[in-house]
Structure 1
Amino acid sequence: MKQTNRLTLPPLSLYVHIPWCVQKCPYCDFNSHAQPDVIPEAEYIACLLADLEEDLEYVQGRELQSIFIGGGTPSLFSAAGIRKLLAGIRERVPFSQDIEITLEANPGTFETERFAGFAAAGVNRLSIGVQSLQAEQLKRLGRIHDPEQAQTAAQHASTLALASFNLDLMHGLPEQTLATAMADLEGIIALNPPHISWYQLTIEPNTLFASQPPELPHDDLLWDIYEQGHQRLAAAGYEQYEVSAYGKPGHRGKHNLNYWRFGDYLGIGCGAHGKITLPHEQRIIRTEKIKHPRGYLDLTRPYLYKQWQVSSEDLCFEFFMNRLRLLEPTPKPDFVAYTGLPLSVADTALNHAIERGYIVSHQESWETTAHGRLYLNQVLTDLLEN
């Protein structure tokens, strides 16, 4: 499989990883660590900016369209620290005029009290990890906030001068019924966030839930929860634009959209991943930074853990693995521009999905059918095998 077309530079985003949490949740497989007695905030921010310095060659004249500060629990950092971080980033890479800057936050009282400071520091979107509004479920999930704190955090976020904010909510929780799942969703809708990430709990390897699996709802119940929940969100004015993302008009998350549209992103911080297009070398690379905070803060070591080129054989699969998460049509010119591969490669790879009615091929785009969205894993499996 040969790249025959010149690669085009896609939009550029930045992911910043802050690894510390108050405690590790039993379902979490992210690179997070229980916070030390004192978080080395100033030292870590200095390392983040030095890490970014080493990646500046990958900017290639572009502006940042979005920044996502994730974790871990970034809201454990002070507002002054976040201000210093964002100022340092802006000194090194220009921001687009309408840049989206998201910070993940927990709804605990300690973090909520910092929301106004984060907004003043330049954050214009908060992503708040509510997960459930039921005390017993929060306890099962290892969350340290209660339902009242979650509601207070959302209400406080709505009073700030933010462009948007998101509430994370899980479904398919241990011992969850249709009624309790819908009660959770109704409670989130009542808080009127501009954006809701509503996703199913999955058991990931190397988590406490993997070694001590809870009893989860059966498949028929999971389908009922999804179907009724999707209808309720639509009725409340939320548009589904990605597998687990729902936004009011004008409130789609720019950062995740850039991921799914096969855009580029720099990744700085412990274990952060990046994806970079290098048109002058006709290749796409991925980067991964040192994972453990101890190693990352060791000034005698490089921040880069490993870097590799995405093979032309993998490009087609990776492109569609991202794009097919979105409900919008996939422009055929984007496939050619962002992979360098000819359209014939995609036509061959998608042939089975098209024959089965999972995907429709239009003149200028491919579009996943409603039926195909139910079999997305099968579509991706077929792509991987081709």
Structure 2
Amino acid sequence: MSVGGASAAEGRVPPRRFRLDVPDDVLDDLRARLDRVRWPDEAPGSGWSHGTELAYLRGLVEHWRTAYDWREQERSFNRLSQYTVPIGGVDLHFVHEPGVGPDPLPLLLVHGWPGSVWEFHELIPRLTDPAAFGGDPADACTVVAPSLPGFCLSFRPGQPRLGIAQTAEVLATLMTGVLGHRRFAAQGGDWGAYVVTRLALDHPELLAGIHLNLLAMAGTPDPVAPTPEEARYLEEVRHWQREERGYFWIQGTKPQTLAYGLTDSPVGLAAWIVEKFHAWTDRDGHEEPRIARDALLTNVMLYWVTAAINSSFWLYFDRLHGGWRISDEDRVRVPTGHAAFPREITRPPRSLAEARYDIHRWTVMERGGHFAALEQPEALAADILAFLRPLRRG
């Protein structure tokens, strides 16, 4: 079975096993670049208020140069079962981990920017084998986690740039035409939440349910007489637009110009990405991101070794210039669960979310932010499995 614009032939091409093995000369070139950084100055006392703090980045780069072991991280990454398959002009990379239980539910996990499938490395085993973590084997899921088209391991120079709607079609073809699943669930955050929402709008018949840790609220009209909670959310959005969205406009209007610097400088790339992990995570009162440095650097490395940062900007350009097809008239009819993390970028109240989604579960999480799978894998996995439990038969 294939869906949408994907051809039947694409649905019949068998996936090929994939193993990450970065050539030594790529790593040698990286070391040489890290050894000859030309550092900028910094406005006195600015800290993180102007972007990535200079002292922090110097320390991170020193760790990168002297202590970080890519080959160790590569071995860890390769413990996941990985494949590639051509769909929609893209050689799509994906992780496919079978569930350990009596009747595993297929679950599509979709990352965003500036993330990667590496975000899920601690989440996946909790979903595929809950019994290994003290859970119920009946909750097991078979996890499919693609690298989004144009991101990291799903990038080759010159390939087509795909927007949200096209990406949703590619992932529908992966799940149905390639892997043969007639019914599955999906989970996403950041752009992954928008892709999953688009998938639910276009192919509700395929989905048992969707679980989101960010809600795709773009296009939802502001309430005329907002409640206090709605007013709080609207102020969050205004602050976001004013203080935190500069990257969005650059990536959405002149991505090529930005790409020259970030593709040539590993330190520039790290600064651009790590700033988002600082701004969008629950730091619990600390100045530094509360994610291990090796985990941060492995995510950066997946963009560096593939030279995919420019291609990863395309969803922003498509958002501003393409056919943005999620509007205030669209409502998801698929059962929806939401894990509301306290340090998410913006936190719409349930009263507004219910205008867009058929909310079946709404969990206010104790801690965590935008990169929930890295920050709180145990809590996120528990909420996903609890949401899916009553939806497994249908």
Query: Of Structure 1 and Structure 2, which has the larger fraction of its residues in strand?
Result: 1
TM, length-normalised to structure 1: 0.28
Query: Of Structure 1 and Structure 2, which has the larger fraction of its residues in helix?
Result: 2
